[in-house]
Amino acid sequence: MRGSISKSKYILKILKSWSHLDVDAIILWWSKETVAVVTGGNRGIGLEICRQLAAHGVTVILTSRDPGAGLESIKFLSEVGLSLIYHQLDILDLSSINRFIEWLKENYGGLDILVNNAGINFNLGSDNSVENARKVVETNYYGTKSMIEAMIPLMKPSVVGARIVNVSSRLGRLNGRRNRISNAALREQLSDVESLSEELINTALSTFLRQVDDGTWASGGWPQVYTDYSLSKLAVNAYTRLMARKLSDRQEHEKIFVNCYCPGWVKTALTGYAGNNTVEEGADTGVWLALLSHQPITGKFFAERREINF
């Protein structure tokens, strides 16, 4: 009896936290058997996403490139009463990804939720160096892309659909008022989801990186603030829409819903702790998307639990 009361209070707490939604439409579909993988989970928004998912009762696999940092984060969460699993994962290392695939298959048979949080940024404040542009693009876009490609075959059949959540940024918006690429023809091509392709995304990034190498990027029409980070997130946003289209014809019970979201300007190491939002606020929409019951919502971009334009 006491356990039932405790569980009811826990469910009520969840529903109150989602109070702006229609409570009657919410189905708590997840359980301890639900497996969520979070990349870059050892600090900042990734760590908070892990914490919130675990607090909801999901089995969370926290991954990080550095085992020491990851295990320290697991220890920290255990001290607040949460039990998570750790596994090393470098999203830029194919052998690391393959080891993780085999371990995941052997121990859990797959996953239900993938949160692509791992990312880097070297520019703070008014600084806009592109010295690390190649590393930023490789990590934020190609690393995310590699994880999606690797995890799709392992996503478990489900009546509510598996979920992929990509942590992105408004800085990567195609048609935002600030910081957009000035090439109108390229913007139009990237806006057309029906003709969008990996080749188009890759070509745009390759052109930018080539201009970085030859020193002409500043006149190439690219964003003038957080340039490399913005382009890497623009690519993530485009790839989110592309994968949503590609996955849309999957059979029932094999559906995979893929969305991206902007956590806002969060006080983390990525922003030099100069943000306006807390990590709790930054993680909220990502967790909401991961656990959303009234699917199908796919190929969309969100912030503060509301859809925004690409």
Q: Which residues carry out catalysis? A: 229
Q: Which of 146, 163, 160, 159 is nearest to 112 (CA)?
A: 163
Closest by CA to 117, choosing from 157, 201, 78, 60, is 60
Question: DSSP per residue over the chain, as a string?
Answer: -HHHHHHHHHHHHHHHHTTTS-GGG------TT-EEEETTTTSHHHHHHHHHHHHTT-EEEEEES-HHHHHHHHHHHHTTT---EEEE--TT-HHHHHHHHHHHHHHHSSBSEEEE--------TT----TTHHHHHIIIIIIHHHHHHHHGGGBPP-SS-EEEEEE--GGG-SS-SSS--S-HHHHHHHH-TTT--HHHHHHHHHHHHHHHHHT-GGGTT--SSSHHHHHHHHHHHHHHHHHHHHHTTPPTTS-EEEEEE---SBSSGGGTT--SB-HHHHHHHHHHHHH--S----S-EEETTEEE--
**Interatomic CA distance for residues 274 and 50, integer angstroms:** 22
| C-alpha–C-alpha distance, residues 43 and 285, integer Å | 17
